[in-house]
């Protein structure tokens, strides 16, 4: 069974950095890109970026460029998303997901990040 298990909820102050993990099991980690998606409260889905676990190559959405770092650790089959210089607008649920071209997609359970002074 494929599982993507994310780390728990975080509360951060403005200006801080958060790092969320996504531990995968049930498939070969390097076979699929790992995407990260933001969903602010009551809002839609916003694509943040992805990492190719095989070689660590990343692509980021311009909105998050410079503040987001997505990495993959093949020794632990874990992907990470780090977001810096947090502001209140970053309060959201963050999802990791594999979204292959043809086979089924898999999503983590989501991690709530609250940014508040």
Partner 1 sequence: DVVMTQSPLSLPVTLGQPASISCRSSQSLVHSDGNTYLNWFQQRPGQSPRRLIYKVSNRDSGVPDRFSGSGSGTDFTLKISRVEAEDVGLYYCMQGTHWPRTFGQGTKVEIK
Judged by the rule CB under 8 A, the positions of this chain that interact with partner 1 are 35, 37, 44-47, 49-50, 59-62, 95, 97, 99, 101-105, 107-110
Are 2 and 25 in contact, with CB atoms under 8 Å apart?
Answer: yes
Please tell me whether residue 38 adopts helix, strand or coil conformation. strand
- Pick the closer one to partner 1 by CB: 65 or 74: 65
Q: How far is the CB of 103 from partner 1 (least distance, A)?
A: 8
Q: How far is the CB of 14 from partner 1 (least distance, A)?
A: 26
CA-CA distance, 117 to 73, in Å (whole number)? 32
Tell me the two tokens of residue 28.
């070969």
Bridge partner list, 22: 6, 79
Q: How far is the CB of 113 from partner 1 (least distance, A)?
A: 16
Are 54 and 30 in contact, with CB atoms under 8 Å apart?
Answer: yes
Are 68 and 7 in contact, with CB atoms under 8 Å apart?
Answer: no
Q: How far is the CB of 107 from partner 1 (least distance, A)?
A: 4
């Amino acid at each position: 069974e494929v599982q993507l298990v994310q780390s728990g909820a975080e509360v951060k102050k403005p200006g801080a950095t958060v790092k969320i993990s996504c531990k995968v099991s049930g498939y070969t980690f390097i076979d699929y890109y790992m995407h990260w998606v933001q969903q602010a409260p009551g809002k839609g889905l916003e694509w943040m970026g992805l990492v190719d676990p095989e070689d660590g190559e990343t692509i980021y959405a311009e909105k998050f460029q410079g503040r987001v770092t997505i990495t993959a650790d093949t020794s632990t089959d874990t992907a990470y998303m780090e977001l810096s210089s947090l502001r209140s607008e970053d309060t959201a649920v963050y999802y990791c997901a594999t979204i292959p071209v043809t086979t089924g997609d898999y999503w983590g359970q989501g991690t709530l990040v609250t940014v508040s002074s």
